[in-house]
Amino acid sequence: MADPVLVERSGHVVTWTLNLPERRNPVSGAAVVDALVRLADAADADGSVRAVVLTGAGSAFSTGGDIAAMAAGNDGFGGPPHRQLDGYRRGIQRLTRALYGCEVPLIAAVNGPAVGAGCDLALLCDLRLAATDV
């Protein structure tokens, strides 16, 4: 499996690219959540990072939750309500907390649709820039 989030650095700016373009960059999977939480922590720990740009590979910024995984009950979306609640807390809500608490300015470079939790992801950033050609 390819890296779910690609990282590039140019001087003091780090770019995070959601890298599941064939699925339009869902963010609810454990691999994506873990990667973004780890990257937010790393950006905060690195005093030389002055900004982070978040974007998506392919034609979408992010379609949010992985509907197929949700329907199959994967990634904490199945089982009784108390287990689902715990799945959200240990899953995608970790991502929300990490980005909300990130001290480094986050810039969403919205290159296509930002749907559901993908819209939330863009809104968690301090600044949003949208492509005009999509």
More confident residue, 122 or 87: 122
φ/ψ region of 80 (left if φ > 0, alpha if ψ in -120 to 50, else beta) reads: beta
Domain architecture of the chain: domains with CATH: 5-130 (3.90.226.10)
| pLDDT exceeds cutoff 90 at 88 | no
pTM metric for this prediction: 0.91
More confident residue, 13 or 82: 13
CB–CB of 106/125 below 8 Å? yes
Nearest to 19 by CA among 5, 40, 8: 5
**pLDDT tens profile 21-43:** 999 999 988 999 999 999 999 99
H/E segment holding residue 89: helix 81-90
- Tokens representing 69 are 């995984």
